[in-house]
Amino acid sequence: MTEHLFPFLDYWWFYAAFTGLIVVFLALDLGLFHRKPHVIGFREASAWTAVWAALALLFCLCLYKYAVWKFDPTTGNQIGVEFLTGYVVEWSLSLDNMFVFVLVFRYFGISALLQYRILFFGILGALIFRGVFIVLGAALLQYGWVVILFGVFLILTGIRMIFSSEREVQPEQSLIVRGLRRLLPVATESEESRFFVRRNGKLCATPILLALALIEASDVLFALDSVPAIFGITREPLVVYTSNVFAILGLRAMYFLLAGALASFHLLRYGLALILIFVGLKMSWLNAAWEGHFPTSISLGVIVGILAVSIGLSLVFPTSRTPKDLLINRPDR
């Protein structure tokens, strides 16, 4: 069994206060700064990306200072680097999830005016699901054989990403979309930012609701890779939870910042695959080889290096071919 530096029973108040603060941030975001739907431009997306990144770094500094005061400088450095590494891992893996956002919005014909609102509720759902996955992960990963099993799972996932063909997203084949279509008729067009409308006295779902449901479903599948990957960096649930939350909060702004350029990062998927393989090796072998804990500072350097090289090579050697997974035809409904 693993002893945690921040056991939940002693730090429940911190989880409650942190979650409450995030709820306040989200309420201000949607209720004040984005009360009226509008198209998010490059300048606004850049500003919000910088704001969320600055908040994450500020929190990391506070967490580091607290760990130094509570424990010692060595532990403080370890916790600070683990938070940064977990944040970078979640942030980098989120880039792959953005491809899904692009495809879903194109398929359902969601205008740029409404995309921010859909992503807001998508992120809200993602935070809830991540909390559940982190609780389960913290309970399971106390056992050594589960750690090795998750490590092997990440390695196999990374290998599959390298050798599999480009992802094809088929919303109509999704179980959740088919289920919603059976429960409710679907209106042909979205009406403002409403998830439901009435047509001839009947309650109908809008394409906005279908898009949100598919985004939520994709994030659940995405969490199966990302949550074990961060537990491969640190065993502290508090660090996993907070680094996840900050990375997810910045995901909307980063989407509007990078969505138009995602197709240029054609080698990114190979970099993300190598990151998963590295973290899987860390969980299943490297930690044991380094007397129980592979240096987190080296892990951070390896992960940032892989990410930078894959993005850099994508820009140096651009592809003239439009990725297959971005070519998606939306049938008439």
Q: Whole-model pTM?
A: 0.86
pLDDT band at 325 (very low <50, low <70, confident <90, very high): very low
User: In angstroms, how far is the first alpha carbon of the chain from the final one?
Assistant: 54
Q: At which residue do the structure tokens 């939350």 appear?
A: 245
Paired tokens of 246: 């900050």
What per-residue string of b and e applies to 138-159 under the rule 16 or more CB within 10 Å gives b? Answer: beebeeeebbbbbbebbbebbe
Of 114 and 32, more confident? 114
Residues 176-185: pLDDT tens digits? Answer: 777 877 887 7
Amino acid identity of residue 262, one-letter, is: L
pLDDT band at 330 (very low <50, low <70, confident <90, very high): very low
Tell me the C-alpha distance between 31 and 91, whole Å.
25
Kind plus residue range of the DSSP H or E element containing 213:
helix 207-231
pLDDT value of residue 184: 77
Q: How many CB atoms lie within 10 A of CB 100?
A: 20
3-class DSSP state of 242: helix
Distances (CA, A) of 333 to 22, 100, 103: 38, 21, 17
56-70, 195-209, 243-257, 274-288: segment of lowest average pLDDT = 195-209
pLDDT value of residue 323: 47
pLDDT value of residue 124: 85
- pLDDT mean over 98-123: 82
pLDDT value of residue 126: 85
Burial of 129 (0-12, 13-18, 19+ CB in 10 A): middle
- pLDDT mean over 238-257: 90
pLDDT value of residue 31: 66
pLDDT value of residue 192: 60
Is the CB of residue 126 less than 8 Å from the CB of residue 248? yes
Is the CB of residue 82 less than 8 Å from the CB of residue 241? no
How many Å separate Cα 219 from the centre of its chain?
Answer: 7
Q: How many CB atoms lie within 10 A of CB 327?
A: 11
Residue among 276, 301, 279 at smallest CA distance from 234: 279
Paired tokens of 217: 């479903």
Of 182 and 305, more confident? 305
Q: At which residue do the structure tokens 């910042």 appear?
A: 257
Residue 186, beta-bridge partner list: 205
pLDDT at position 52 over 80: yes
pLDDT at position 32 over 80: no
Q: At which residue do the structure tokens 């953005």 appear?
A: 98
- pLDDT mean over 79-91: 94
pLDDT band at 320 (very low <50, low <70, confident <90, very high): low
Instruction: Share the mean pLDDT of the chain.
Output: 84
Residues 274-288: pLDDT tens digits? Answer: 999 999 999 999 988
Distances (CA, A) of 237 to 54, 128, 142, 230: 22, 15, 11, 10
Of 323 and 173, more confident? 173
Amino acid identity of residue 308, one-letter, is: A
Residue 203, beta-bridge partner list: 198
Residues 121-140: pLDDT tens digits? Answer: 888 888 888 889 999 988 88
Task: Tell me the domain boundaries of the chain.
Answer: 25-316
pLDDT at position 268 over 90: no
